[in-house]
Structure 1
C-alpha cells in the first residue's frame, strides 16, 4: 500500500468540505465525517480543512504555495551548503589542472560518504568542476571482484619506477628525459603520463642557476684565433676539443675543476680538480685526455685535433701553448667576455654545477675538502659519459654515440 495519499483523494475531500460545511455544527464534526467517507484519518482531514481556509484567505497562516516555496528554498540552501563542503574538500586535487587518477577520486568519494554526503551529490559536484564521474562508476569500483583498470596498473608500475630513482642520478631528469629513460627501461609510456605522475610525486628534476665568470682574460693581446666560430659540431671524435673550468665552495676554501670535452659526442675526455688556478689546473686534464684516448686504442693523430677555450690566462700561458705545440694540437681561443664562443663548454659546466655540486646525489652532505669534490666529480663524469641521456644526441649517451660512429666505420675499414 502506498504511504502517500493520492492527490485525487485530497481533492475529493476538499470538494466535500465546500459542499457540506453548512450541514455540520462545527469544523471538527465536518472533518470527522469526511474522513470516514474518503478513508483517511480525522486529523489529516482536519489539517486539509484548515489549510483550505488559509489558502482561501479565511484564516491566518502560510498558504500552500508559500510553504512549497519555503521548502524549495530550504532544499536549495541545503544543496548549496553540501556542495560547498564537498568542493572545499576536493580543492586539493581539483586545482592541479589534470584529471586525478581514479583511485584518488574513489578514495575522495569514500571520505565524503563517511562524512555523511550522498554519493550522487559528490559525483555531481566533481562533474560540475571538470572531473566527471558517475555514481555507478563508484559503486562498480567498490565491488570486491571488480577488474582493475589497465591505466591503474600501468600508473602503479610507472610510479614505482619513478620512486626507485629518487636519490639516484636519473632522479635529476625532467619530464622529457625521464620519459626517454623509462622507455629505455622497457616501459611503453607517454610524455603526458610521466608528467602527471611526476607532478603527483613532486618530482621536478633540477634546473640550472645563474653562471658566474671564473676565467680572467690574459692582458697580452697576442693569442690564437677562433677556429670553431661557434660551430660546436665535429665530423668525428678526436677532431675538436673544448675546455674550461669552474669553481666549487668547500669548508677549506675554493676548489677549481677543469674539463676537456670532445665536441663530436660531448664526451668528457679529461678533468682535474685543484685548489688553485695555475696552469696545471688546465694542463693536467689535457694530458689525462691524451693518455686515456691512447689507452682506449683511439690515439690522437698528429695535426687533426684542435683545442678550443676562452681567453683565460691559463689557456694563453706559454707553458700550455708549448704543450699544444709539442702534441701537434691546433690552439683555438674565443673572444674576450663572450660566453657564446665557448657555449658548449659553458653548458656542460652548468650541468656539472646543477646536477653534481648543487645536489646530494653524488656526495652526501657538504663539501669539506678537495677530496670530496673529486669524489663527487668522478661519479658525475662516469654517469654523464656512460648513462646520462642527451637530447642533442638523440637521447643517447656520449659513449653510445661514439661507439655508433666506430661501429659504422668498421665495415669500411675491414674492406679497405
Structure 2
C-alpha cells in the first residue's frame, strides 16, 4: 500500500507544502470576532430599516430610527453599510430645510467657531461632546407633516439628540439639545453648538437655554451652517 493511502493528510500537506496546523485551521475556520459579530448585527439592522422605509430613509434618518429602537450607530457607519451594499436613499422633495431668518434677532455676539486657523470651514472635532451642529428638517407622514430637529456630534458623527413634533417652535430645538445633554453628550466644561441663522436658533429663549447650560453658539453666514 502506498504511503499516500496510509497517511493521506500528511501526504497532501507535503505535496501542497503546508503544515498540518495550517490545514486544520483551514478545515475549522476561526470563530468570528466580537467586532465582526457587531458589524454583522448593525448591517442587518440598517438593511432592515432601509427596506422597511422603502428606500426613502438616508443615513441620518436611519441612524435616528435605529436610535429610537435602542440601537446606537454612527451616521458614518450607516453610510458605509449602505454604500457597501449599493443602496441609496430615494430623494424626497418633502425632506428639506425649513428655518427662516428673523431680521430682528440679536446675534451680533455670536461668532462662527467652525473655522480653522486659516479661516476655512472646519466641521471636525477630536473630542466627543465639544463641537456639535444641528438643523431642522420636515417630512411628510401618513398623519401629516412632522418636524425633526437633530443634534450631531462632530467627533463621532452620531446623532446624539433629536426631537420630533407637529410644530417647529423653539422648544423643538431645545428638546433636541436637552436630550444630548441628558445623555451625557455635552462636555461638562462647555460645548460649541453650530447652526444656521434660522429664527428658532436666534430666538431669545434658545440663547438663554444655551447660556444656562454652558453651550457656546456658533453661526456662519445666512443660509449656511458655517
- Same fold at TM > 0.5: yes
Residues 1:273 and 2:164 aligned together? yes
Comparing 223-232 with 283-292, which one deviates more in the overlay? 223-232
Q: TM-score, normalised by structure 1?
A: 0.32
User: Aligned-residue CA RMSD in angstroms?
Assistant: 3.3
Using the TM superposition, give the Cα deviation of residue 285 of structure 1 relative to its aligned residue in structure 2, in angstroms.
1.0
Q: Deviations over 1:298-327 (max 9, x none)?
A: 762233x10111111111110110011111
Equivalent residue number for residue 332 of structure 1: 218
User: Bigger relative contact order, structure 1 or 2, given CA contacts below 8 A and separation 6+?
Assistant: 2
CA–CA separation in structure 1 for the residues paired with 2:214 and 2:114: 17
CA–CA separation in structure 2 for the residues paired with 1:274 and 1:335: 27
Equivalent residue number for residue 282 of structure 1: 173
8 A Cα contact 1:272 1:281, kept in partner: yes
CA–CA separation in structure 2 for the residues paired with 1:279 and 1:299: 19
Residues 1:315 and 2:206 aligned together? no
CA–CA separation in structure 2 for the residues paired with 1:309 and 1:321: 12
Distance 1:221 1:278, change over 3 A: closer
Distance 1:289 1:325, change over 3 A: same
8 A Cα contact 1:311 1:334, kept in partner: yes
Residues 1:232 and 2:123 aligned together? yes
8 A Cα contact 1:307 1:332, kept in partner: yes
Equivalent residue number for residue 243 of structure 1: 134
CA–CA separation in structure 2 for the residues paired with 1:267 and 1:330: 20
CA–CA separation in structure 2 for the residues paired with 1:299 and 1:278: 22
Distance 1:313 1:328, change over 3 A: same
> Any residues of structure 2 matched to 1:373-412 within 5 Å, and which?
none
5+ residue gaps, structure 2: 1-39, 59-76, 116-120
Greater Rg by CA: 1
Look up the SS of the partner of 1:314 in the other structure.
Answer: helix
> Any residues of structure 2 matched to 1:25-64 within 5 Å, and which?
none
Equivalent residue number for residue 215 of structure 1: 99
Using the TM superposition, give the Cα deviation of residue 217 of structure 1 relative to its aligned residue in structure 2, in angstroms.
1.4
Using the TM superposition, give the Cα deviation of residue 288 of structure 1 relative to its aligned residue in structure 2, in angstroms.
1.1
Q: Deviations over 1:320-354 (max 9, x none)?
A: 10011111111111211236x2xxxxxxxxxxxxx
Residues 1:302 and 2:189 aligned together? yes
Look up the SS of the partner of 1:315 in the other structure.
Answer: helix
> Any residues of structure 2 matched to 1:8-407 within 5 Å, and which?
168-169=48-49, 204-207=86-89, 209=91, 212-220=96-104, 222-223=106-107, 224-229=110-115, 230-293=121-184, 300-303=187-190, 305-338=191-224, 341=226
Q: TM-score, normalised by structure 2?
A: 0.57
Distance 1:242 1:208, change over 3 A: farther
Q: How many equivalent pairs are there?
A: 151
Name the structure where helix makes up a greater proportion of residues: 1
CA–CA separation in structure 2 for the residues paired with 1:212 and 1:255: 12
Equivalent residue number for residue 118 of structure 2: none
Name the structure where strand makes up a greater proportion of residues: 2
Look up the SS of the partner of 1:216 in the other structure.
Answer: coil
Using the TM superposition, give the Cα deviation of residue 220 of structure 1 relative to its aligned residue in structure 2, in angstroms.
2.3
Distance 1:247 1:332, change over 3 A: same
